[in-house]
Structure 1
């Protein structure tokens, strides 16, 4: 399958120094790159926040500190007593014009919030374990050092940012099994084991998200699993299950798992195996999917456990997830893999595609 560079879909109309940027498409269809001066010391002031513990030590493995410093960037290391968000705000207060972040999706999300708030471009360096946001930006997740060359010759794009109860997220907010796994002792040390220990009761209907969710099919009471993403996930084909082929669509994606009244939802292994083998279909067994600018959860309990970009948190009810179109500026290397063309599977007879919901 051929690959094409899908980003940037939108371009900021000003460069770092305030001068206009030509955002007209090149003949190739890609937005014209905004090039920085060849000597980084004479151009932008960049600060890169790095989490050395992310991804099993990818910061050290790929010598990211040295690469960043060679490109003229200042490096700030996050860790115990050194919060990534606080370091990003410190960098902005000290004059950083670009914020970079090398770490997992949780670290990326934290620094992205500061970048959006301060209107600074964000350089995402894929130094975590999964690197979902970097992958969906079309970056080379196998060579994080290559991404940092955007500091020398990069181009900007605007992408959406999700919000849950006012807290930004770049990937998703999960309620239910994954959220409870995040809150379980030992999750960081044994993710698969912890997830398995809490999944069974949820998928057997003995545990649930203690909230109600407004969907296009009406209000669903106490679903087993609820996932809200910054732009919809692809679930139609197995090869690209869980990818996002756009981050500027201006809508959230929602996936809800709920069994029929009086019966348990499908066992988790069967559901996952079926999605891996066939993809998933809206209206399939126990599954509801839709897209909307906002998703609301409410209920009689005061709060609900959630995982925000992989970080555990407790959120007060009622709560609203919403999308902020184009709220985040990202700085991308001109040379990057891009995203493949999104595959489309034939529509099964009598089944409809995910429908927008006014929310």
Structure 2
């Protein structure tokens, strides 16, 4: 429940006093530290007392973000895991309201890509108020011709990678963090390729057999590995990757090309850049968005919305492999 003004309340932002909303997952560690830091920095910088809204099991961030928008805040801080960040972003896309994040999850994928501290919540809060602003791309994904789209900020996948996310043991994540994904990855290595039809930017579809197809907005994941080498979060393009290992040693070729940053001609790993992509399967496979399992689907439609989300990130030089302009 909110600890401040109810939904629909108009804050003093209308008279020029800025106000932040903190959308926070209460089940995560360091929540008290984050609340205190947001209250402290708000006071130090002359902002109104923040609106604090907790997520719930039934609503991991979308309703809370809408409540923050209704309250007229200037900044919405998503404090939680990748699911909380994605749900908040989904409501802020296309608005003028600034978003920031305090990573409290296991993957913290967007934070890793934009240099937000994943192990220092106080530093992340200070960056949320005092960092630089960027406008980043957001990718909209439609599953099985649904009427509504969903968004992702880092990557979405169909097949092997999504099976990893849905099969990762929560108890192991609590003990060893992101290494739990490695365990799930090894257990899901065996499997048969699926027949897929893929169209890039509306071109004639091509047929292939694959274990996974992934769309990426930016490239870094846990352990410093770049799944989409050189993918920029603000270039108006999405990177599409297909994984099709051949034979028992095929996964070694996939890993080799990943560590070589996509260089080489091995067909086990192929990259494309596009504004839109359409993937059709004969049989449904598991789907994930920014690490969240979403069940199964047979048809995916990706569409990039360039620079449609205002995001606050730390001051300082940015990795030019992540953003188009490396200066703050």
**TM-score range relative to shorter protein:** 0.7 to 0.9
Deviation at 1:81, TM superposition (A): 4.0
CA offsets 1:301-350 (integer angstroms, 9 cap, x no match): 4x4421111111136543311110011011234x34x434549xxxxxxx
Change (3 A) 1:156 1:339: closer
Decide whether aligned partners of structure 1 residues 325 and 342 sit closer, same or farther in structure 2, where only a CA change above 3 A counts: closer
Matched, 1:223 2:210: yes
Moved more, 85-94 or 287-296: 85-94
- Residue 46 of structure 1 corresponds to 20
The answer to whether the 8 Å contact 1:282/1:288 transfers is no
- Whole-Å separation in 2 of the counterparts to 1:181 and 1:340: 28
- Residue 159 (structure 2) aligns with: 176
> More strand by proportion, 1 or 2?
2
SS at match of 1:330: strand
In the TM superposition, 1:43-122 aligns within 5 A as 43-54=17-28, 57-59=29-31, 63-70=33-40, 71=42, 72-122=49-99
Number of residue pairs the alignment of both structures matches: 286
**2:111 & 2:231 partners in 1: Cα distance?**
12
Distance 2:152 2:139 in 1: 5
Separation (CA, whole Å) in 1 of partners of 2:89 and 2:295: 21
Q: Report the TM-score, using the length of structure 2 for normalisation.
A: 0.75
Q: How does 1:151-166 map to 2 (within 5 A)?
A: 152-165=129-142, 166=149
* 2:238 alignment counterpart: 252
State the partner residue of 2:125.
148
Distance 1:145 1:297 in 2: 41
CA distance, structure 2, for counterparts of residue 341 and residue 267 of structure 1: 32
User: Do the aligned partners of residues 194 and 180 (structure 1) sit closer, same or farther apart at CA in structure 2, a change above 3 Å counting?
Assistant: same
The equivalent residue for 1:350 is none
Match of 1:296 in 2: 278
C-alpha distance in structure 1 between counterparts of 2:162 and 2:248, whole Å: 18
CA distance in 2, matches of 1:214, 1:116: 26
Contiguous gaps of at least 5 residues in structure 2: 1-11, 43-48, 143-148, 173-179, 323-328
1:103–1:294 distance in 2 versus 1, CA, 3 Å: same
Q: Which of 287, 306, 322 is matched with 1:306 structurally?
A: 287
What is the aligned partner in structure 1 of residue 326 from structure 2? Answer: none
Deviation track 1:82-131 (CA, whole Å, cap 9, x = no partner) reads: 43111111222233232110122221111111111543110122222232
Question: For residues 94 and 271 of structure 1, what CA distance do their matches in structure 2 show?
Answer: 48
- The two structures, once aligned, show a CA RMSD in angstroms of 3.3
Are the equivalent residues in 2 in contact too, given 1:136–1:244 (CA < 8 A)?
no
Match of 1:3 in 2: none
Q: Which residue of the partner structure matches residue 188 of structure 2?
A: 198
Residue matched to 2:150: 167
User: Do the aligned residues in 2 keep the contact of 1:175 with 1:225 (CA within 8 Å)?
Assistant: yes
Unmatched runs of 5 consecutive residues or more in structure 1: 1-15, 19-40, 202-206, 344-359
Q: Secondary structure at the match of 1:43?
A: coil
CA contact (8 A) 1:105 1:309 kept: yes
Match of 1:140, SS state, is coil
Q: CA separation of 1:104/1:239 partners in 2, compared to 1, >3 Å: closer, same or farther?
A: closer
- The runs of 4+ residues in structure 1 deviating greater than 4 Å are 215-218
For 1:34, the equivalent position in structure 2 comes to: none
Per-residue Cα deviation, 1:155-203 (whole angstroms, up to 9, x for no partner): 422110011112110011111112123333x6333433333221222xx
Partners of 1:214 and 1:220 within 8 A in 2 = no
So what's the TM-score if we normalise by structure 1? 0.69
